[in-house]
Chain A
């Protein structure tokens, strides 16, 4: 018997035990699925508030991302007319990290369009400010911020570096082809790299966030007692350009700036917002 379990077999067994014990994510999967299915059942019964509660429970337990969960959460908020959280979760469903399938992405875009339409109506009737649609430059930056473009620029640069000395040894047509390839790689390196760098810098210096309350009072300075500058429609996309404890200075795409309570904003980058209801800087209206 001793010969049957040598040192190698014992090491393998230990590795297997360690593998099983160090994989906690799978242990939670059932809990997440249970909460998600409970949310689906509540949604099917038209109990959207309960569905949101269950979905948020699932989101809190989920270690990673789920485009379907974000989509369902955003749609449930849209059903309740809460346009700010609806926009926030639908946008998260469309983020590259969520890896939404084609049909989920299409459905999220459709619901986002409907929510946007309702936001415009609500903003017009309430006289609130709303973000304008993304410009081509913003769309371009959002696209090139993807890691794929970072790899493309990086690969082009290093590949060009490797090919350059080889091209010097070639003669005739092969040399001309190699030189052309180096030129193209250099162009990709410079253009894509510059765009990707600008996108990363913009994301780092002024992260994007969504206004969560139905209508939020933007103030001239941080503090609830400060004068109100304007009202921004819930669901509007803003950039956070400065932060002090509890308050964020935000800029609308049109250039309007002011201070909002930190709790009124849902950042699109990073971990999902796991707090409760957004702080009500103004009673909901119109949404």
Chain B
């Protein structure tokens, strides 16, 4: 027991400093507060001002409620934003922690009318309403944009300088007919250079057909003696769709980051199209000045052969919604719905060309006439109705007049009708009805592309091989001179062999050696040496460049052979014959008469 008490005391002593030093969190609900202020208290109409609202809570962890603004729209204040910034802070004082959160809202207010505006900002904290201790007050000076529309003169320019920036709208005519073009131009005048001028709200073109026009260029202009830089805003071609006083609401542009400037509203007088002289069934879309032309791609066709008829309407006006009227009947033709192609030209005046391509199928032979087509339109410049008319076109149709007689002649089918039995019986060749089906067995052709290719390559290849072989043979056989030379060399080799064989016995040695040397002399002397006596032959050899000593040796050898053959040198032994042969061979191989040295 004593042990237990001792342990409890030790634990209590150890825990005491910890408890004493531990921070004590405050779990109170915290205090909610709101502050509101304006970045500037006096501005002009269209300028923006920042309304800064700070919501904070000291202690507590609940989410911060969003501030409540007064009815700004009723005050003519446009609001952008808010942007927010959230901050928390925790502090330690005397061992106690305290935390706070702060949320800052920034609203951008843009007044559209002058006046003094109080801006009470509140918070809802459960059932309790928290109010800002001070109420911001905004003083707005300047002029509000005109609420009523004006009916300006044609192309009226501004006459009064209106501050550092203003928007100006103008029209090219104050009064016009329904469907006639009205050109609307909106420009921004600035005295100082603004970084960012942009269109925030388009003008209201209710009751108008609107087409964009190319914008103008930036320029400088004096307004009541004040220099302005004029920025092109937008240009539109407007086509009023009903009569009466039509209103074009003002455009609004943004200047810089949050400044807004509005233009003026414009009222236009739109007159109805005159009833006098109006063609029956006239379309109010046909206002402008138009011409009409017709052409065909072929003027001579066969029955059933298609051709294209092109009707082109060209001129100025709102050509996109132009009503071409009812197409005339085309007797003798089958006609399909046209393909329509519109090429709008956008300059200062809207216009262009619209082409209708009809596919026509002549169903009867002979000359067929495409009648003229008429387009009624109202010319606003003359204030009267006019007609545009195409020329009639005659098509020469050849072929069997009754060939397409049975074809349906619907007025304007939207697609080619399926062929009828009557039509096809007349046009298509009938089927064949033999008792048995004629057929052919399809065998793989022998001449496949591969075989054909090989055969085509083979013929010239074989020709080339034959040519090559012939050339090789020719080269191997040589010409007549070389063949004769080869024969002489063979005879020389035979002569040497015969002499060699006869050295030992002496039988036929000298005739063989004489024959060898004689052949040598005749060979070296060439054709000139044929049939000459020995001395003359040796002279020829000398003339042909053989050395005199060699020629003399040749002559001496031949004489010695003659002497031996005819008895003058009888009794010579084997050694003498060997020496004689060696001398002859030396003459054959190593003298100026040797084969390699002889020219």
Using a CB–CB cutoff of 8 Å, the interface residues on chain A facing chain B are: 25, 29, 32-33, 36-37, 40, 43-44, 46, 51, 58, 62-69, 71-72, 75-76, 78-79, 81, 97-99, 101, 104, 107-108, 110-111, 114, 117-118, 120-122, 124-127, 147, 150-151, 153-154, 157-158, 160-161, 164-165, 189, 193, 196-197, 200, 204, 285-287
Q: Lowest 5 CB-CB distances: which A-B pairs, in order? A: A157-B459, A107-B429, A66-B439, A72-B431, A36-B437
Which secondary structure characterizes the binding site on chain A? helix
Known A40-B433, A71-B431, A125-B359: A151·B447 in contact at CB below 8 Å: yes
- B441 contacts across to A, CB distance below 8 A: 25, 63-64
Bound together, the chains give a CA A285 to CA B414 distance in angstroms of 11
In the assembled complex, the CB of A49 is this many whole angstroms from the nearest CB of chain B, namely 13
Bound together, the chains give a CA A114 to CA B466 distance in angstroms of 57
Of the candidates B306, B429, B437, B442, which one forms a contact with A97 in the assembled complex, judged by CB atoms under 8 Å apart?
B442
Known A111-B428, A124-B359, A164-B463: A32·B437 in contact at CB below 8 Å: yes
Which secondary structure characterizes the binding site on chain B? loop
In the assembled complex, the CB of B131 is this many whole angstroms from the nearest CB of chain A, namely 62
Could you list some 25 contacts between A and B, CB below 8 A?
A: A25-B441, A32-B437, A37-B435, A40-B431, A58-B437, A62-B437, A64-B439, A66-B440, A68-B434, A71-B432, A72-B432, A79-B419, A79-B421, A79-B428, A81-B418, A121-B416, A124-B306, A125-B337, A125-B416, A154-B447, A154-B452, A157-B456, A165-B466, A193-B456, A196-B452
In the assembled complex, the CB of B324 is this many whole angstroms from the nearest CB of chain A, namely 19
Known A65-B442, A157-B460, A193-B456: A33·B437 in contact at CB below 8 Å: yes
Bound together, the chains give a CA A151 to CA B418 distance in angstroms of 46
**Interface residue B317 (Cβ < 8 Å from any Cβ of A):** no
**Interface residue B117 (Cβ < 8 Å from any Cβ of A):** no
Of the candidates A110, A121, A151, which one forms a contact with B359 in the assembled complex, judged by CB atoms under 8 Å apart?
A121
In the assembled complex, the CB of B433 is this many whole angstroms from the nearest CB of chain A, namely 4
Known A78-B424, A97-B442, A161-B463: A200·B437 in contact at CB below 8 Å: no
Nearest B residue to A75 via CB reads B431
Of the candidates B359, B415, B431, B433, which one forms a contact with A285 in the assembled complex, judged by CB atoms under 8 Å apart?
B415
Bound together, the chains give a CA A78 to CA B430 distance in angstroms of 11
- Do residues B452 and A200 form an inter-chain contact, with CB atoms below 8 A? yes
- Do residues B459 and A66 form an inter-chain contact, with CB atoms below 8 A? no
- Do residues A158 and B449 form an inter-chain contact, with CB atoms below 8 A? no
Q: Which of B304, B416, B430, B439: most chain A CB closer than 10 A? A: B439
In the assembled complex, the CB of B539 is this many whole angstroms from the nearest CB of chain A, namely 46
Nearest B residue to A103 via CB reads B432
- Do residues A46 and B306 form an inter-chain contact, with CB atoms below 8 A? no
Bound together, the chains give a CA A285 to CA B337 distance in angstroms of 14
**Interface residue B356 (Cβ < 8 Å from any Cβ of A):** no
In the assembled complex, the CB of A109 is this many whole angstroms from the nearest CB of chain B, namely 9
**Interface residue B205 (Cβ < 8 Å from any Cβ of A):** no
- Say which size band chain B's interface belongs to: 35 or more
- Chain B 392-433 per-residue mask, 1 if CB under 8 angstroms from chain A, else 0: 000000000000000000000001101101001001111111
New contact pairs (15) apart from A157-B456, A189-B459, CB-CB < 8 Å: A25-B441, A33-B436, A37-B435, A63-B441, A68-B437, A75-B430, A78-B419, A101-B438, A107-B429, A111-B429, A117-B304, A117-B306, A118-B419, A157-B459, A193-B456
Bound together, the chains give a CA A164 to CA B305 distance in angstroms of 56
- B439 contacts across to A, CB distance below 8 A: 32, 62, 64-66, 69
- Do residues B456 and A147 form an inter-chain contact, with CB atoms below 8 A? no
**Interface residue B261 (Cβ < 8 Å from any Cβ of A):** no
Nearest B residue to A203 via CB reads B449
- Do residues B359 and A147 form an inter-chain contact, with CB atoms below 8 A? no
- B416 contacts across to A, CB distance below 8 A: 118, 121-122, 125, 286-287
Bound together, the chains give a CA A121 to CA B404 distance in angstroms of 15
Known A68-B434, A151-B447, A158-B459: A125·B415 in contact at CB below 8 Å: yes
In the assembled complex, the CB of A72 is this many whole angstroms from the nearest CB of chain B, namely 4
Bound together, the chains give a CA A104 to CA B432 distance in angstroms of 8
Bound together, the chains give a CA A32 to CA B459 distance in angstroms of 45
**Interface residue B455 (Cβ < 8 Å from any Cβ of A):** yes
- A150 contacts across to B, CB distance below 8 A: 447, 452
In the assembled complex, the CB of B152 is this many whole angstroms from the nearest CB of chain A, namely 48
In the assembled complex, the CB of A66 is this many whole angstroms from the nearest CB of chain B, namely 4
**Interface residue B209 (Cβ < 8 Å from any Cβ of A):** no
**Interface residue B225 (Cβ < 8 Å from any Cβ of A):** no
- B415 contacts across to A, CB distance below 8 A: 125-126, 285-286
Q: Which of B305, B336, B361, B433: most chain A CB closer than 10 A? A: B433
Bound together, the chains give a CA A99 to CA B431 distance in angstroms of 17
Nearest B residue to A201 via CB reads B449
Bound together, the chains give a CA A32 to CA B336 distance in angstroms of 43
- A101 contacts across to B, CB distance below 8 A: 438
- B434 contacts across to A, CB distance below 8 A: 68
- Do residues B429 and A110 form an inter-chain contact, with CB atoms below 8 A? yes
- Do residues A66 and B442 form an inter-chain contact, with CB atoms below 8 A? no
In the assembled complex, the CB of A158 is this many whole angstroms from the nearest CB of chain B, namely 5
In the assembled complex, the CB of B363 is this many whole angstroms from the nearest CB of chain A, namely 13
Known A78-B428, A121-B361, A154-B456: A67·B438 in contact at CB below 8 Å: yes
**Interface residue B6 (Cβ < 8 Å from any Cβ of A):** no
**Interface residue B475 (Cβ < 8 Å from any Cβ of A):** no
* Chain B contacts with A in 442-474, Cβ cutoff 8 A: 442, 445, 447, 449, 452-453, 455-456, 458-460, 462-463, 466
